[in-house]
Chain A
Amino acid sequence: MADTRQIRAGKGPVTYALRTFVILYLAVLVVWPLWEVGSRTFAPLERGAESGIGPFLERLQDPTVTYAFGLTATCAFWAVLINTVFGVGISLLLTRYRFPGRRLLSVLVDIPMSVSPVVVGLALVLAYSSGQGWFGGALESAGIFIIGTTPGMIMATAFVSLPLVIREVVPVLEEIGTDAELAASSLGANGWQTFRRITLPSIKWAVVYGVVLSLARSLGEFGAVKIVSPGAELRGETATILIQNRYTNFEEPTAYAAAFVLVLASVLALVVVSLIRKEDRS
């Protein structure tokens, strides 16, 4: 920070022009639209009606809305849990072992980042649906249904947020190197003891950071879940799908209220992330 201040010690017209441009850009693109969501959330429904926090909370207490947020929370929880366990596992595999196909795996892990979530949903339907899926038939005969159920939505959410933990953990694992782990094993620690006592404490903040990012991503997931979910009220309608449905059905106030909650959740995630960054540096 000190360096930046030194470089920009003289505040010329260019500095002010740049600042104005950046502020305007952010305002037009981010702040103003979000402000609209916030103000609509708390605006009175019609002339003379009650406004403010009361009706907002009331709208959120609608059973369909609480169901939607409950389902979103369930999907996000399981997706994050799965991604944390597999993410740390795959990260260890990618950094600590050499095997044929390692580079391919590393590329595969990135695919969810670049593929559109809608395509992810479609792919899951093609693979697992009981009607057309080449895998679904077998699962159906075993009594397992993926598409149109909560497990399918968890899968879609997990797929989309898969790389987030890995992308945070892999660089840290590479940076800390293997010396401490080798030292632990020469001191008598087995693989699990080394992981729990040496590796995990070193990557702790990276994992937490990845978890927060995954959580934010999972809460806001729409495209992939939309395809695999039945998407009806009280039946597979997550918070994002609820916003879409209500908005198109002229129940905008509920859509705004739900949207506002999602915005709050991401702001919270951002705050947590910036706190972690500070903690991590100290």
Chain B
Amino acid sequence: MSIEVRGVGKRYGDFVALDDINVSLPTGQLTALLGPSGGGKSTLLRIIAGLESADTGTVDIEGVDATTLPPQKRNVGFVFQHYAVFKHMSVAKNVAFGLEIRKRPKAEVKAKVAELLELVHLSQFAHRLPSQLSGGQRQRLALARALAVEPSVLLLDEPFGALDAKVRKELRDWLRRLHDEVHVTTVFVTHDQEEALEVADEIVVINEGRIEQIGSPDQLYDEPANDFVMGFLGAVTRLGPLVLRPHDIEVAVAPGVPGSSAGVVQRALRVGFEVRLTVDVEGQDEQVLVVLSRAHARALDLELGSKVWLSPTTGATTVPALAVPREAVASA
């Protein structure tokens, strides 16, 4: 195990940021800490990096108790949401910083910087200042700088949060490929479930200072531990006693399937290739959201006011609707 977090707690006054967190992050994996803003995931990352100290608990990095070590002794690479590049240094100098601090020979520094700039595709910008780079380039620079010191773990705090959607997606793919090349144990914080599902080997879902679930993207999506995880990983709706995904609802125009609920289509919205239906189901206050493909909707000849019968598809991921879904669920 590369990072071992045991019983970590952190409070800011009355606010509990982290409450008894226990998690092991295996060597060489790409792990995502996923959760809503203010849920404590960034705090956990900063505690692992030593940028903040935990009130209780311990952090082991590569078998060494790092709980009381200052950040410069932990051998971690940290990448900030807003890049934190050194504005007054050239791109090459930024990358060389950690090596120069370690007093490595000049030739070695030069070779390493060239190699890393190659890796992040910034070779031709080596002599520019960070202010002459785009946001995505700055973040790649920050990543190269963190990798230069050959950290035992690489920590990224919302690394793509400040970038626009297109660059975000590119960098996400690129990070995944980079990780497959470099194989350094990587932990990144994100509130974007798509980002986590796409990039990570393992996802730790954190909410209100607690871990909700740990698992692979498939596990989390297919076997969510509770309605929060279910809701955070994608859109959900309630059908009778179950919470399930809108695309896991079977729509029929005639009764037949036992246990199906009858309803009336209130709204039909077409977005690209899919059709989103809002259905008033008898005996349920909350309207049911159904998503189906345009072709399917056309085949069923659905329109406003159509009477439909809804039932979960076979093999649908469901969790029992115990309580009123939390805020995050509604917004997801």
A residues engaging B (CB < 8 A)? 179-180, 182-190, 193, 197-198, 201-202
Q: Which positions in B face A, CB cutoff 8 Å? A: 49-51, 70-72, 74, 76-78, 80, 82-88, 97-98, 101-102, 142, 145-146, 148-149
* Residue on A nearest B73 in the bound complex, by CB: A188
Closest beta carbon of chain B to A114's beta carbon, Å: 34
Given contacts A179-B80, A183-B78, A193-B101, contact A188 B88 (CB under 8 A): no
User: Which chain B positions have C-beta within 8 A of A198?
Assistant: 86
> Given that A182-B51, A182-B71, A182-B78 are contacting pairs, would A187 and B84 also be in contact in the complex, using a CB cutoff of 8 Å?
no
User: When chains A and B are docked, how far (Å) is the Cα of A202 from the Cα of B101?
Assistant: 18
Nearest Cβ in chain A — how far from B74, in angstroms?
8
Q: Which chain A positions have C-beta within 8 A of B86?
A: 180, 183-184, 197-198
Known contacts A180-B85, A180-B86, A202-B87; A186 and B97 CB within 8 A of each other: no
Which A residues are in CB contact (< 8 Å) with B148?
187
**A111 CA / B288 CA spacing, docked (Å):** 66
Contacts known (A197-B97, A198-B86, A201-B88); A183 close to B80, Cβ less than 8 A: yes
Overall SS of chain A's interface: helix
Contact A187 B146 (CB under 8 A): yes
Q: Which of A179, A186, A201 contacts B49 (CB 8 A)?
A: A186
CA–CA, A180 to B49, complex, Å?
15
Give A190 to B71 CA distance when docked, in angstroms: 9
Specify the chain B residue showing the minimal Cβ separation from A194. Answer: B72
| Residues of A with C-beta under 8 A to B149 | 187-188
B98 near A188: Cβ-Cβ < 8 Å: yes
Among residues of A, the one whose C-beta sits closest to the C-beta of B79 is A183
How far, in whole Å, are A186 and B143 apart by their CA atoms in the complex? 13
Q: Contact: A185 with B70, CB < 8 Å?
A: yes
> Are the C-beta atoms of A179 and B101 separated by less than 8 Å?
no
**Distance to closest chain B CB from A27 (angstroms):** 43
Q: Which of A180, A185, A188, A201 contacts B102 (CB 8 A)?
A: A188
- Give chain B residues whose Cβ lies under 8 Å from the Cβ of A179: 80, 82-84
Q: Which residue of B lies closest to A176 (CB)?
A: B87
**Chain B residues with CB under 8 A of A193:** 101
Known A-B contacts A179-B80, A193-B101; the reply to A187 vs B145 at CB < 8 A is yes
Q: Would A186 and B87 be within 8 Å (CB), given that A179-B82, A193-B101, A197-B97 are in contact? A: no
CA distance A202 to B97 in the complex (A): 16
Whether A186 and B102, one on each chain, are in contact in the complex, defined by CB atoms closer than 8 angstroms, is no
**A180 contacts B84, CB within 8 Å?**
yes
Residues A184 and B97 in contact in the complex (CB < 8 Å), given A179-B80, A179-B84, A198-B86 = yes
Contact yes or no, A185 B85, CB < 8 A? no
Residues of B within 8 A of A180 (CB): 84-87
Closest chain A residue to B88 by CB distance?
A201
Other A-B contacts than A187-B101, A189-B101, 14 sampled, CB-CB below 8 A, are A180-B85, A180-B87, A182-B80, A183-B78, A185-B51, A185-B72, A186-B49, A186-B77, A186-B146, A187-B148, A187-B149, A189-B97, A197-B86, A198-B86
Residues of A within 8 A of B80 (CB): 179, 182-183
Taken together as a complex, chains A and B put the C-alpha atoms of A184 and B49 apart, in Å, by 12
B84 touches A182 (CB 8 A): yes
What are some 24 contacts across the A-B interface (CB < 8 A)? A179-B80, A179-B84, A180-B85, A180-B86, A182-B71, A183-B78, A183-B86, A183-B145, A184-B86, A185-B51, A185-B72, A186-B49, A186-B50, A186-B51, A186-B71, A186-B72, A186-B74, A186-B78, A187-B97, A187-B98, A187-B148, A188-B98, A189-B97, A193-B101
Cα distance A16–B84 in the bound complex, in angstroms: 49
CB distance from A89 to the nearest CB of B (A): 21
Tell me the minimal C-beta distance from A187 to chain B in angstroms. Answer: 4
What residues of A have a CB within 8 angstroms of the CB of B70 in the complex? 185
Interface-centre pick from B74, B80, B85, B86 (highest chain A CB count, 10 A)? B86
- For the complex, give the distance between the alpha carbons of A186 and B152 in Å: 12
